[in-house]
Structure 1
């Protein structure tokens, strides 16, 4: 099963997939963020089973535990966590969102993937 939201994490320093990065999917409900999915990136740095296969319109965030990832290699990092907030709209035919993360110990970038 593929989640409505998927991710792919690449380590920009090594030029390799970031394996085993813990990732959590949260949904905004009122003023609170509720966890609706979690997992870790695979050998290719991907996570396709992060949460439900469909999601209603609303605000979500993908939380990457980069501190744990870098700790495994004793790499100091300025960003122990990366939080990417997104808003889903009701758009027919666009029920999947891919949120890639390009990661290094002192910088990161993201974009809406396909």
Structure 2
């Protein structure tokens, strides 16, 4: 069983990115779930179990920065990844107006 979580840090402000819309889809575009980050920039997304396969998380980064009056380059950030029997996946996003990075968290 795979449970998916994410955490977004606004690296320019040094604070959690609150209110970011995040969607989870199969890599073929089939929708799985959608949600918004909480007061700590965190979100648990999707069903309790994700089947093995290829997925994408899409973060609405442009809308986040526009709501704060900050110019940015990436309207969205999409992270593709593979589920292969993991009990839990954590996909954090470190965000700034002109760059982002991610890694497989724990």
TM interval, shorter chain, is over 0.9
Out of 48, 71, 77, the residue aligned to residue 76 of structure 1 is 71
Q: Which residue of structure 1 lines up, in the alignment, with residue 90 of structure 2?
A: 98
2: CA distance between counterparts of 1:95 and 1:5?
9
TM-score by length of 2: 0.95
Q: Where in structure 1 are there 5+ consecutive unaligned residues? A: none
Q: What secondary structure does 1:33 align onto?
A: coil
What's the offset of the Cα at 1:26?
0.4
Q: Which residue of structure 2 lines up, in the alignment, with residue 43 of structure 1?
A: 39
User: Structure 1 runs of 4+ off > 4 angstroms?
Assistant: none
Q: Which residue of structure 2 lines up, in the alignment, with residue 7 of structure 1?
A: 6
Q: Where in structure 2 are there 5+ consecutive unaligned residues? A: none
- Which of 1 and 2 has greater Rg? 1
What's the offset of the Cα at 1:25?
0.3
Please list the CA deviations of residues 14-60 of structure 1 after superposition, one character each: whole Å capped at 9, or x if unmatched.
Answer: 000000000000013xxx31111000000000002x11110111000
When the two chains are superposed, the root-mean-square deviation of aligned CA atoms in Å is 1.1
Out of 70, 88, 99, the residue aligned to residue 107 of structure 1 is 99
